[in-house]
Structures are given as structure tokens and as C-alpha cells.
Structure 1
Amino acid sequence: MTQYNYDTLSAATNGLKERGYTLDFNLSENCLVCNTGKLDIDDFEIVEFHRFEGNTDPADEAIVYAIEGSQGEKGVLVSGYGISAEGMSAEMAKKLHENLNR
């Protein structure tokens, strides 16, 4: 498996889009949504992620997730973490954060 490393958030999102992760997912309380519909927690897997930490501002901390849906959907989710983390259900938080420790 090829390991990808990106220096910036924009490089990561652009690199993933070039590799076919073209949908833009948004985080809802207990699902991911995009212009083609929604994916419930059991309907997607996190294939890879890239974490970026702000040098001076903790609000700049973000994670880019490469997401694959059970029906072949491929997209990107950009989410803040730390003090900038968005509201989500405990179940969604567990799914996203489990992947950070692998």
C-alpha cells in the first residue's frame, strides 16, 4: 500500500481528489452528507487520513479523511479537532477517532 504524505491541507484535498475522492462530505450529527445523499455510520469506511496542526493558532487544526461508501462513493471529509471540533454524536466521534489511533 502506498503511503501518501502532504504538507498542507489543500495539498491533501487536491491529492485525494486526483486519486478519485471527488465528493465533498460534510459532517452531520450521526451521518455524512454530500450533494448525492447521505451515508450513515455503517455505510462508510475511512481509508486514510491526514492530520494538520496549526503552528500558532489551535483553531487551524484539521483532519482530512478519505472516505469510501458501501455503494462505491469516494470523497473527502475535512473536520476540525481539538477546540475547533464540530458537534457530532458519540457514535460518529468514536468511528472517526478510532481511525486516528491505527
Structure 2
Amino acid sequence: MESYDTLTEALTALREQGYTQDYNLKHDHLHCQPDDVKLHPADFDIVDVYRFEGMTDPGDSTVLYAIEAKNGNKGTLVDAYGVYSDAISPEMAEKLTIR
């Protein structure tokens, strides 16, 4: 797994590797506009995970997921990590657990 200093650097590198879809986290699925694609936990795999801590507050963290859908589409999900993260279904929480 490659290491990146910034979120922007990681996103740029992943896009160059074909991770072009931008996913948004919903309660029980990932959503991608403008195609209105919905991916439930069984519909995708997490290829890599990158975590970035805030410069001034280590509690202000962001996590970047490199995702490959079962249909072959590849994209990224950027989300808050920890206290600021959204409430999601248990299945989605299990899928996004950093191991």
C-alpha cells in the first residue's frame, strides 16, 4: 500500500489508477451521482484505506477508502473518522471497519 502525506495527494494518485467514481456514504449504502448508483455492502470491496489526522486536532480525522464495485467500477469514499462520523447501518459499519 502506498503512503500519502495529504488527502489531495492520495485522491490524485487514486484517480490516476482508475478510481474515478466519487461515492457518498448513506445509512445502508454508498451512492454515486450523477448515475444514481447505489452500492450495498455486498456490492463492493475495499481495496485500500488511508487515514489522515488534522493538523491542529488529532481528533479531526478523515479516512479515504479506495473501493472496487462488483461490476468493475472503481472509486473513492472520503468520510470523517471518529466523533464526526455519520450514523450508518451495522452492515455498513462492519464493511468500513479498518482492520
Give the length in aligned residue pairs.
Answer: 97
**Aligned CA-pair RMSD:** 1.2
**Aligned-partner Cα distance in 2 for 1:55–1:10:** 14
Matching residue within 8, 20, 23 for 1:22 = 20
Which residue identity lines up with residue 81 of structure 1 in the other structure?
Y
Moved >3 Å (runs of 4+): none
1:83 is paired with a residue whose SS is: coil
Match of 2:65 in 1: 65
Superposition deviation, residue 58 in structure 1: 4.5
TM-score scaled by length of structure 2: 0.91
Q: State percent identity of aligned pairs.
A: 47
1:87 is paired with a residue whose SS is: coil
Q: 78-87 or 41-50: which moved more?
A: 78-87
Which residue identity lines up with residue 4 of structure 2 in the other structure?
Y
Match of 1:89 in 2: 89
1:84 is paired with a residue whose SS is: coil
**Aligned-partner Cα distance in 2 for 1:26–1:59:** 22
TM-score scaled by length of structure 1: 0.89
Which residue identity lines up with residue 70 of structure 2 in the other structure?
S
More helix by proportion, 1 or 2? 1
Q: Which residues of structure 1 form unaligned runs of 5+?
A: none
Superposition deviation, residue 60 in structure 1: 3.1
